[in-house]
Structure 1
Amino acid sequence: MSDYVEMLAYFGVSSAHPGGIELTKTMLEHIKLMPDARILDAGCGTGQTAAYLGNIGYQVEAIDTHPLMIEKANLRFEREELPIRALQASIEQLPFPDEAFTLLISESVLSFTNFPAALAEIKRVLAPGSQLVANEAVLKAPLTPKEL
């Protein structure tokens, strides 16, 4: 996994998750968010989703484990004059208080984690009645040797 993340960081890939930013926008259109929603973009990468949410008026926090991704995300936030700062942190150990968020969005992150630890942290930081949007690639059938 680290080679994959290194490649994404080096090239500044903004939308490596399934469906890209267009699917993200579509998913977010189908959930009800209050104007004062506090959102955590866990695994923000270069900050594309966090910036989109910040530009439409939400309070957003952003984390990623990769230093280069954080640097690129923070440059994006500065360029777009958004009050968002990406922090280096893992979804498995979130540096936020209990029940701090009304939405946690995770795109192509959970597949690369200790899933039970990540879910425990997600549950801890989401307020009662809050939502999780997780966009992950999954295999419906094993890959052929050629696909591998």
Structure 2
Amino acid sequence: MDEASVLENAIRYFTYLQGQVDLLEEQERKPTVRVKKSQLVVDDDESSWNEQQSPPSIEAQVCDKHVLLRIRCEKRKGVLVKILCEVEKLNLGFVHTCVVPFGSSSYDIIIVAENEEEFSLAVKEIVQNIYAVLQRAV
């Protein structure tokens, strides 16, 4: 390579690196994303769960417009449909849903949803609403 080619390549690489620095500085100026989290594991004597059933475990996280729900509950006919209907009632649009049988008697359900315009519930309220649906399904 002659000197002009070497210099031209060095200038291109320097310009690329300067662009990367600008990108990193811009990302640093953006506010950090806060994740709100709420978890519910029932441990009370007044719940409607009998000795053969274990109460559900529900966890919700909100990050920007997205909501992540993790639910472990007993396998029962129609329980998934009831949960999905409740999520829709909360004005959340589905992005992804995954249901995995865990053992022979429970489900692990993961739902990623997106806030719609009318969404105004706190994370704790989402968890409480899902819990109420599961309690009615007993």
The structure having more radius of gyration, on CA atoms, is: 2
Q: Structure 1-normalised TM-score?
A: 0.26
Higher strand fraction: Structure 1 or Structure 2?
2
Q: Structure 2-normalised TM-score?
A: 0.27
